[in-house]
Chain A
Amino acid sequence: MRRLPVYLLLDTSGSMTGEPIEAVKNGVQMMISSLRQNPQAIETAFLSVITFDSIAQQIIPLTDLASFQMVDLKATGVTALGDALKLTAQKIETEVAKTTTEQKGDWKPLVFIMTDGIPTDNWEIGLAEFKKVKTAFTVACAAGAGADTNVLKQITDTVVSLENTDSSSIGKFFQWVTASIGVTSTRIEDSGKELTNFKELPPPPSELNIVV
Chain B
Amino acid sequence: MEEIKRYLQSFLFQNKIDIPRSKQSLFEDFISDEINITAVKIIKEKQQMMMRNWNLINRIDDITNQSVFLPNGTVNKTYEAKIDFIQLGWDDIISYEIQNLEETGLSFDREKELLSGNPKISGDLKIKMLFKIDGEAEETPLNEKVFAVIINPDPKSLWKNIESDKNAPFSKEDNAAAAGSFLDKKIVVASKRGRSHANVGSFREDDFAFRNFSSNGWSVLAVSDGAGSSSLSRKGSQLACDTLIEYFEENLDKENLKEFDEILFSHYKKTDSDSSKKISYFVYNTLLKAAHFVNQKIEEFATENNEELKKFHATLIFALVKKYDFGYAILTFGVGDCPIGLLNKDLTEITLMNVIDVSEFGGGTRFITMPEIFQSDKLSSRFGFKLVNDFSYLMLMTDGIYDPKFVVEANLEKIERWNEFLSDLKGNNEDGSKVDFENENADIAAQLSTWMDFWSPGNHDDRTLAIIY
Contact = CB atoms under 8 A, between A and B. Distances in A.
Contacts of B124: 33
A198 B410 CA distance: 34
B196 A186 contact: yes
Given A39-B199, A67-B72, A190-B196, A1 B152 contact: no
Contacts, number: 66
Contact of B228 (A36, A65, A104, A192): A192
B158 A42 contact: yes
Contacts of A101: 408-410
Interface string B359-393: 11000000000000000000000000000000000
A69 B152 CA distance: 12
The residue in A2, A40, A65, A99 that gathers the most chain B C-beta atoms within 10 A of its C-beta is A40
B155 A99 contact: no
Interface in A80-109: 99, 101-104
Nearest to B159: A39
Interface residues of B, number: 31
B458 A44 contact: yes
Interface string B417-428: 000000000000
A39 B161 CA distance: 12
A137 interface: no
19 contacts: A33-B124, A39-B159, A42-B152, A42-B155, A44-B457, A65-B152, A69-B72, A69-B150, A102-B408, A186-B196, A189-B196, A189-B458, A190-B228, A190-B461, A191-B229, A192-B228, A192-B359, A193-B229, A193-B359
Contacts of B71: 67
B458 A2 contact: yes
A42 B329 CA distance: 47
A1 B458 CA distance: 6
Interface of A: 1-2, 33, 36-40, 42-44, 65-69, 99, 101-104, 186, 189-193
Nearest to A2: B458
Given A36-B122, A65-B152, 6 more contacts: A37-B153, A42-B155, A99-B360, A189-B461, A190-B196, A193-B229
A-B interface, 3 closest residue pairs, ranked by CB to CB distance from nearest: A191-B228, A39-B158, A1-B458
Interface of B: 69, 71-72, 74, 122, 124, 150, 152-153, 155, 158-159, 195-197, 199, 228-229, 359-360, 399, 407-410, 456-461
A49 to B, nearest CB: 16
Contacts of B72: 66-69
A38 B410 contact: no
Given A42-B152, A69-B72, A37 B158 contact: yes
Contacts of A192: 228, 359, 399, 461
